Amino acid sequence: MTDKKIEMIDVNKWFDDFHVLKNINLTVKAGERVVICGPSGSGKSTVVRCINRLEEHQSGVIRVDGVELTNDKAAIATIRSEVGMVFQQFNLFPHLSVLDNLILGPMKARGLSRADATDRAMHYLERVRIPEQAGKRPAQLSGGQQQRVAIARSLTMEPKVMLFDEPTSALDPEMISEVLDVMVSLARDGMTMIVVTHEMGFARKVADQMIFMDGGEIVESGPPEPFFTAAKSARCQKFLSQILQH
Amino acid sequence: MKILLALLTLLFLSSCASSDIWGWYVIDPTTKNGWINIKFLINGMGNTILVSLIAAGFSIALGLLVALPALSHRRWLRIINRIYVEFVRSIPLLPMLFWVFYGLPIIFKSMGLDIPIDPFWGAVITLALSDSAFTAEIYRSGIQSIARGQTEAARTIGLSYAQTMRYVILPQAIRRILPPLANQFIYIVKMSAFASVIGMQELTRRANELVVSEYRPLELYTFLILEYLVLVLIISAGVRWLERRMGADERN
Ligand SMILES: Nc1ncnc2c1ncn2[C@@H]1O[C@H](COP(=O)(O)OP(=O)(O)O)[C@@H](O)[C@H]1O
Ligand SMILES: [Mg+2]
């Protein structure tokens, strides 16, 4: 156990001969919120996906709660059990009801009884404020509701770290705030979070650390205050001025 | 059904027009001999259906086993799948049947195993093997049609590979897999006719035997074809029913 929940040290990754991550260094302490932004294709998703081994890095060290990510299956399983992830496209299981989406992990991966898993699932559905939708299929819900279910599904595994990969980018504008509200309340409760997003209002509210990526590199990083007002690099300034206009 | 009726009418008409080439008496149910012949022919139905069902069962299991390596991110596993599928698909059924029926027992014997292969099991093994290449492809495309995000979401909530397949991928893939799989059953039924060559008492074998004693190939093979036609029409109706059900499931 360590104060550092996530450590990435000189991480490099290639897709065949395309160098997608270049010397990524990142430390996230317990309870810290990190927001990553940057143009499309800059490697934001890949960074996040390396942390729970949806992608494999080729050099450097990634540690989650002190456990190093290697090809060791046990280490990967341990890390996945501590890291929750929310995807842009929700990725709910369409053939299962909302409740069944939530109890699958606790029952099959954690060995909880159906009754215990259901209690836990209802607790987190209340947390994201849609307990009344438990019996529905995902397709019957709005996008905002689906994403809240996806957040609840991750929370039922009681992770120590939550990763969000553009959780509101696939949503209609009027649904963005209901999802961000849930994320803000998670942050208030002290969840360690890495959030890839372009919602700068949210970033200002919760971020302890801002990261700007471009071309597979971390170009700029630091606390929100100098980051938003006095970005050092021209690339970051330009990017911020573009997205802050909207 | 309409086609069947039209065909029967056509045959009836032509038999009236030129009674010298047709001799329907061999299977005329109103005569004692004709009725015995009909019973003899139709009795092959049981074996045709049984051999097809058992072969289909094995093929469905074997096909899944063959399809799984195709979904791996490891190249060599995918290559093994490709070799199996291409190899099995390219062997004509009859040589494969001969190899299994006459050749396989010799291999067994050389390994010190005394496993006799009778015509029934020879046919089952051959049909299952041959069909497994096709069922494997049906599984592969069905499973690949389920978005990658589903696997990733399952992995992030801690499910193992087997659990991901069992609870997330297969239940979704099944509605895309089942109709073509049922359709593939038609292939097995038709190919089971080859089992007549190694002496299995199924529809084709029975017709052949009767032709030898009755010298009425035109009528008997016509009857044989109609037997297969009825069988296949029933299966197709089943497939269409399945397709409608699976489609209805998908929409809710
Ligand atoms: N599986 C993959 N194979 C090859 N290239 C990929 C793959 N995934 C992503 N890439 C490429 O890597 C780069 C970074 O992708 P990504 O991390 O998704 O960027 P972002 O999330 O910042 O938009 C992009 O150029 C993308 O095309
Ligand atoms: Mg992305």
Whether A26 shows a pLDDT value over 50: the answer reads yes
A43 lines ligand 1 (CB under 6 A): yes
Q: Give nearest CA residue, ligand 1 atom 21.
A: A45
> Average model confidence (pLDDT) for chain A?
94
Q: Residue-wise over B38-60: b if at least 16 C-beta within 10 A, else e? A: beebeebbebbeebbebbbebbb
Residues of A in contact with B172 (CB under 8 A): 93-95
Tell me, yes or no, if A84 comes closer than 8 A to chain B by beta carbon.
Answer: yes
When pLDDT is cut at 50, 70 and 90, the band that residue B239 belongs to is confident
Residue B252: predicted pLDDT: 46
Cα B166 to averaged position of ligand 2 atoms, centre (Å):
29
Other CB atoms within a 10 A radius of the CB of residue A101 amount to 27
Alpha carbon of B79 to those of A93, B67, B84, B221: distances in Å? 30, 11, 9, 44
Please name the residue of chain A whose CA is at the shortest distance from the CA of residue B169.
Answer: A93
Q: Which pLDDT value is given to residue B15?
A: 63
Determine which of A39-48, A101-110, B64-73 has the lowest per-residue pLDDT on average: B64-73
Res. B190: pLDDT tops 80? yes
ipTM, two decimals: 0.92
Q: Ligand 1, atom 5: nearest CA belongs to which residue? A: A15
What is the tens place of the pLDDT at every residue in A138-175?
A: 999 999 999 999 999 999 999 999 999 999 999 999 99
Helix (H, G, I), strand (E, B) or coil at A83: strand
Residue A132, pLDDT > 90, answer yes
Whether pTM exceeds 0.90: no
Residue A88 near chain B (CB below 8 Å): no
Q: Which ligand lies nearest to the CA atom of residue A55 in the structure?
A: 1
Predicted local confidence at residue A2, as pLDDT:
61
Alpha-carbon distance of A93 to A171, in angstroms, equals 18
Q: Which of A139-143, B52-56, B86-90, B171-175 has the lowest mean pLDDT?
A: B171-175
Do the beta carbons of residue B130 and residue B191 sit within 8 Å?
yes
Would strands A209-214 and A217-222 be described as parallel, antiparallel, or unpaired? antiparallel
Which among B149, B152, B159 is the nearest to A105, CB-wise? B159
Task: Please give the pLDDT value at position A208.
Answer: 96
Q: Which ligand is nearest to the CA of A46?
A: 1
The per-residue pLDDT for B9 is 75
Which atom of ligand 1 sits closest to the CA of residue A165? 21
* Window 139-158 of B, Cβ < 8 Å to A: 147, 149-150, 152-158
Confidence check: pLDDT of A27 > 60: yes
Q: Model confidence at A231, in pLDDT bands (50, 70, 90)?
A: confident
State the count of interchain CB pairs (< 8 A) between A and B: 60
Ion ligand 2: protein residues whose beta carbon lies under 5 Å: A 45
* pLDDT over 80 (residue A228): yes
Alpha carbon distance A56, B78 (integer Å): 20
